[in-house]
Structure 1
Amino acid sequence: MFNPTHLAAVSVETSNTFILTAVLLTLTVVYLASKLGGAVCSRLGLPEVLGELLGGVLVGISALHVVIFPEQGVTAADSSIIALLELTSDLTDQGAGVVFQTQAAIIDLLSEIGVVVLLLEVGLACNLDELIKIGPKAALVAIAGVATPFSIGALGLIYLFGVAPIPAVFVGAALTATSIGITAKVLSQLGKIATTEGQIIIGAAVLDDILGIILLAVVASLAKTGEVDVVNIGYLVVVASLFLGGAILLGRQYSNWIVRVFGENQGQLLVSALIFALLMSYLASAIGLEALLGAFAAGLILGETTKHKELQQQVMPLAYALVPIFFVTVGARTNIGVLNPLVPENQQGLVIALFLAVAAVISQLAAGYVLPAKDNLNRLAIGIGMIPRGEVALVFAGMGLSSGVLSESLNVSIVVMVIMTTFIAPPLVKWAMSDQRFPPDQGEENNDHGDPVDHAEETANNSKPLEDQGLENQGAGV
């Protein structure tokens, strides 16, 4: 996270020159990695988000050391950007450390803002009526998607690998939370976010994150005291329910009023949406939830306004600019060195990681199939859409390692599991959601798979047609 105390240790000249230069150079590399990686994957018929992740791996800790972060155990001497500045200017070694830490913090902050914009746009693309309608299905998938991997992971580690119960519970918990950003980006690029399957995946992923936060509180308490803080768990359950319920109520009753208060003019609409999204993100964070949940709730509310089409069109360019920073930094943080089996301390972790990755995939596929077959849904696509683990799993790993609960090999296993699920999910989601996998009359009958429908009839029924959402041709942002 951004730490302003770094700025106090550097002169105004350094702050205004070297830090800005380092940030601009880093962003240039980030955007180049995003565009080149996305273009290559697009040529190969793969989702562009996979290219952004791979581009991040290339410029990150595993290769070029352009986008690296102090918490990865590196210093200014390891940064290619700092090396370039020292070569081409009079940046001193003392100033280099401050510039490196501040530049990395700013890129990290922009990345977090990017994912806030991503979830705002996902919320705008969702149909609140449809989300409420599929709410029970999403809840069923989410509960199965948390309980199944947690049970398989924890019990497997205890009985197959002889891991102690508390570390096993910690690792099992890391398997539970779906990375909503990865799946949402792929669904958006495929134009499938408005399908019934897409809505179920998004709804279940949001609930997954809420359940993951609650589970994190449980295992953190268990690790520190050996006991479970029931009061804290109850608090999180209540505030999460009230927050989402309040968002739905606001969306139903006051969404158009909110737009009028913040301003309806063309130039004010985007800023108004950002003010509201950032405010909701702050409120979510202040009550102990993820800030991303607040941005998603803001998108749901604003998606109910008469200005939702204009909002989507105006948020899209902002997403093009900020969302790639998030995905490139995710890739940049991926240290593929942990995949080297020749390093002794990696070997046990790799074996456990393979078990965890298989458990994550199988359990999420099973979560998709808890839905009744009579619903005639693409249950395979729903299960695959829930596969990618993400930043929440890494939060579990970091907390477990810093607290001493997790050994180095268990920490490596979580990191490798996240790498595997993050990179295999996008092409699998694209395959599973492909229209060619369904008979021509199936989508027309159920309108579940994005096939052509009567949009005039949809509009008459107060729903939001897919082309109104401006998502079909979107590439870099949701």
Structure 2
Amino acid sequence: MAHLITSVSFFTFNFSLAPLLATAEETETASSTLILAGVLLSLIVIYFASKLGGEICSRINLPPVLGELVGGVVIGVSALHLLVFPEGGAAASDSLVMSFLARTTTVSPEIADSIFATQSEVISLLAELGVIILLFEIGLESDLQELIRVGPQAAIVAVVGVVAPFATGTAGLVYLFNVPVVPAVFAGAALTATSIGITAKVLAELGQLSSREGQIIIGAAVLDDVLGIIVLAVVASLVKTGEIQISNIIYLIISAGVFLIGAILVGRFLSPYLIALVKQMRTRGELLLTALIFALSLSYIATVIELEAILGAFAAGLVLAETEKRKELEEQVVPVADVLVPIFFVCVGAKTDLGVLNPAVPSNREGLIIATFLIVVAIVGKVITGFTLFGQPDLNKLAIGVGMIPRGEVGLVFAGVGAASGALSEATEAAIIMMVILTTFIAPPLLRFVFQEPQTASSLNGTTTESVNLSASSESDSPSSEIETAQKPNN
């Protein structure tokens, strides 16, 4: 009898619980569907902002990546609130994407915040993948042999261009503005970057890419990228530990250098086998997927030893750039980068609150002063690099320094990694963004000016000389000259 009562009770309990379990499963399914819908809406907004901003910048002769950044600022927390993130203090009710989702679907207020958090996490994860692909692509576009062969002049410019702004920026933020050490170090690291893409484009337009100054600028910019990525990996690792110790810094620098060199050496040994394996494959995407496996493996190893994943991706790109499949791989990586990299830059802009630089608010004035300081250090710290090449009066040293000014996409990588790590305050992050934008905007016209000025002077001298020669020639061809010449033998 007791057994029968237990069975009936168990049956009754299960029967009464069944609707609840079904409701929970339906809710979970609905949440998954709504999360996917939120991610899709966010991607629509991100891609639209990136293309619109990129097209506008391209038409006014500016890097499209700046348009992606500005597009992110417009749709983000600074303006339209289409793309906002919970780590910035936003809730589901602050997101216009979530509001639109609520109007077009059956999102209940109880699950709106959880959907918003998960959707934001997915977008942030895609942005992280984007920066990994970006550094892999930069590695592919770099030439390891050129880095090895680059002259001492480029090496001097690169080292000074990293050390001077980093030391000045970090010390100034700590001692003048009382910024905590870790954020100050990160902001100083952001000052070390140089955008080789922007400078190379302007030099090509001026016909100075193969000039002596142009070669020094390009070589130094490539070295700057390598040194800057190592600095970024070290600083980002310091953020994870939360403290600055000399022994820790030395360990991280050594580990970053050993990892980069070791990955390149091991990769150069393994790359012929990878290429041979690719040649044996018969399915689609054999080269791209094998390369991504290699890049993601090095990124994973870098993450495990407390470095940044981007250092592993960059090392993988450097290694594969030496193989016979380099050009083919570059072409195949471009579509992947076109899909993922804009998410990173738009998210960097969307998370940047430019409102903290509003001078009308008294508490924001410190942020504006910090931004001004970073901009001055960013410009002066690079301009002086050309003047460190002593004993070469024939070089256009000012042009070399100006060519190192633009931060471009490299500076945005620093800002994005810093924002994702949580090391930067809103004011410091916005100040770095403003520094990147301004240095990128002013570098092309300045570079045109410093290269054209000597050419104008020389052309004027050439014109004057030519005029004098023509005048002398016309005088010698005049009748009086002929008479004098004819009379001279008679005398």
Same-fold call, TM > 0.5? yes
Residue in 2 aligned with 1:171? 184
Distance change >3 Å, CA 347–CA 381, structure 1 → 2: closer
Q: Sequence identity, in percent?
A: 41
Letter in structure 1 aligned against 2:334: M
CA–CA separation in structure 2 for the residues paired with 1:371 and 1:257: 43
1:246 equivalenced with 2:262 (yes/no): yes
Letter in structure 2 aligned against 1:380: G
* Cα displacement (A) at 1:88: 1.2
- SS of equivalent to 1:51: helix
1:290 equivalenced with 2:308 (yes/no): yes
CA contact 1:381–1:429 (8 Å) conserved in 2: yes
Within 5 Å, give how 1:265-344 maps onto structure 2: 265=281, 267-344=285-362
CA–CA separation in structure 2 for the residues paired with 1:413 and 1:145: 25
Distance change >3 Å, CA 438–CA 117, structure 1 → 2: farther
CA–CA separation in structure 1 for the residues paired with 2:44 and 2:197: 22
* Cα displacement (A) at 1:102: 1.0
Residue in 2 aligned with 1:357? 375
Distance change >3 Å, CA 300–CA 384, structure 1 → 2: same
CA–CA separation in structure 1 for the residues paired with 2:454 and 2:379: 29
CA–CA separation in structure 2 for the residues paired with 1:233 and 1:268: 40
Distance change >3 Å, CA 310–CA 232, structure 1 → 2: same
Q: TM-score, normalised by structure 2?
A: 0.74
Residue range with higher mean Cα deviation, 195-204 or 413-422: 195-204
CA contact 1:397–1:415 (8 Å) conserved in 2: yes
Distance change >3 Å, CA 284–CA 382, structure 1 → 2: farther
Residue in 2 aligned with 1:101? 117
Distance change >3 Å, CA 366–CA 14, structure 1 → 2: farther
CA contact 2:358–2:364 (8 Å) conserved in 1: yes
CA contact 1:201–1:386 (8 Å) conserved in 2: no
Residue in 2 aligned with 1:380? 401
Match 2:129 to one of 85, 107, 113: 113
Letter in structure 1 aligned against 2:119: Q
Residue in 1 aligned with 2:484? none
Within 5 Å, give how 1:55-134 maps onto structure 2: 55-134=71-150
Residue in 1 aligned with 2:12? none
Q: TM-score, normalised by structure 1?
A: 0.76
* Cα displacement (A) at 1:62: 0.9
Distance change >3 Å, CA 373–CA 61, structure 1 → 2: farther
- SS of equivalent to 1:175: helix
- SS of equivalent to 2:375: helix
CA–CA separation in structure 2 for the residues paired with 1:342 and 1:257: 62
CA–CA separation in structure 1 for the residues paired with 2:182 and 2:28: 48
1:152 equivalenced with 2:152 (yes/no): no
Matched residue count: 418
* Cα displacement (A) at 1:212: 4.3
Letter in structure 2 aligned against 1:147: V
1:416 equivalenced with 2:430 (yes/no): yes
* Cα displacement (A) at 1:190: 6.8
- SS of equivalent to 2:359: coil
CA–CA separation in structure 1 for the residues paired with 2:306 and 2:255: 8
CA–CA separation in structure 2 for the residues paired with 1:135 and 1:281: 30
CA–CA separation in structure 2 for the residues paired with 1:100 and 1:187: 40
CA–CA separation in structure 2 for the residues paired with 1:122 and 1:428: 23
* Cα displacement (A) at 1:273: 1.1
Letter in structure 1 aligned against 2:433: I
Residue range with higher mean Cα deviation, 193-202 or 77-86: 193-202
Structure number with higher helix proportion:
2
* Cα displacement (A) at 1:85: 0.9
Distance change >3 Å, CA 123–CA 396, structure 1 → 2: closer
Distance change >3 Å, CA 321–CA 371, structure 1 → 2: farther
- SS of equivalent to 1:248: helix
Letter in structure 2 aligned against 1:418: I
Q: Which string of whole-angstrom CA distances, capped at 9 and with x for unpartnered residues, describes residues 13-54 of structure 1? A: 234311111111111111111111111112222221111111
Match 1:425 to one of 431, 435, 439: 439
CA–CA separation in structure 2 for the residues paired with 1:258 and 1:426: 39
* Cα displacement (A) at 1:128: 1.1
More relative contact order, 1 or 2 (CA 8 Å, 6+ apart):
1
CA–CA separation in structure 2 for the residues paired with 1:292 and 1:124: 13
- For structure 2, list consecutive stretches of 5 or more residues without a partner in the other structure: 1-23, 456-491
1:211 equivalenced with 2:231 (yes/no): yes
